[in-house]
Each structure stands twice: as structure tokens, then as C-alpha cells.
Amino acid sequence: IVFDCGFEDTMGMQELRSLTRQLLKAHYYNRELDDPFFFSFCNIEPDSNIWALLQKFHSNQTGQTFDGYSQLPYHFSPRNFTDIFPREDLVMLSPDAKQSMYEVRSDKVYIIGAITDKASSKPLTMSKAKRLGIPCMKLPLHLLKWKGPRKDLGLDVVLQILQMVNEGSAWEDALNHCLPQR
């Protein structure tokens, strides 16, 4: 799983705080899994607001720096994911994608845009995928006849859905279990 932190300039401090809480929820969830996902935080600069907020919020919660979990399978890089992973392995997840995904493949690297739905109604992740020439897919929310005007989910919710499907749950079961009631 890649969290693409390259959208910081589209968010204000309130959105960045919300995003950081979602990233930390994903982190806390992932560290409890028997078989945790490998996390790569790409396009994250050491002097970025996201990095500073991750350090601050995590330290406030645990009394430790984020580096205190160096045994976890995490990678932080200012580089873009296309410079780290083979393009043919990349799949950008976006609520604006035209194509739905119906399986979680272990040979694919799924990219989740580190951006909150409050930050922009523009299809930023889909546009980035097109610009980089990588596939873009959305979760199959239509299986539940989703009623919301937009189909944005918290990063931690997306991670939980992917994990449940990866472990063998049907999409409908994972979506019913993980989706917030709207």
C-alpha cells in the first residue's frame, strides 16, 4: 500500500489534521494485523506539514516518535511512487475512477491518495493516474447501492476494506462491515 502524500498543497491545516488522524488510524489498525500491509509513504518531505503532524499526533498518543515503530514494514520517501515501484505493478485508487476493482492482488501496489474529501471536489487522484499513465480503479461501492453524493472514504476505511478482501471476505461483506453509516 502506498500513501501518496503529494497533495499537501491542496489542503489547509484543518484538512491536514484530519488526514493525519486517518493515516494514524490506518497505522494503528495495520500494526495489529497478523500479516500487516507494507506501507510506503511517498512524496513526503521531512519538512512537510504532514510529516510534522504525524510525529506530533503519534507522540501525543503514545509518548513515542513515529520512528519508534521501525520494526514495522514502512518506508518513507520524498520520491514519487513511479520512481520506486515498477509502473506495471501500480494501481491508483480513486473514487472518481471509471473502472471498479473486484480483487486485491498481491502482485499489485495499491496507491491511496493522502487527501481528505473536504479538500477538493476535483478528481485529483484520477487526474494524477492519467498523467502518470497508470491504471486507476475504485472500490465497488455500487454493490451496496451507495446513496452518498460522493464516494470518498477515509484512508483507514479503505485500508480495512482492502485487508478484509485480501483475507478472503466477499466485497459486499467487507463493505457492509467497514463503511460508515451515512
- CA atoms of 112 and 33, how far apart (whole Å): 19
Residue 33, pLDDT > 60, answer: yes
Q: Read off the pLDDT band of 122 (50, 70, 90).
A: confident
Q: Is the pLDDT of residue 176 over 70?
A: yes
The letter for the amino acid at 87 is R
2-178: in CATH 3.40.1280.30: yes
Distance CA 45, CA 34 (A): 30
pLDDT at 21: 87
Q: Determine the average pLDDT of the residues in 34-53.
A: 87
Which has the higher per-residue pLDDT, 100 or 25?
Answer: 100
The x, y and z cell numbers of residue 5, run together, are 502524500
Closest alpha carbon to 113 in 34, 15, 29, 182: 15
pLDDT at position 64, please?
A: 63
pTM of the model: 0.87
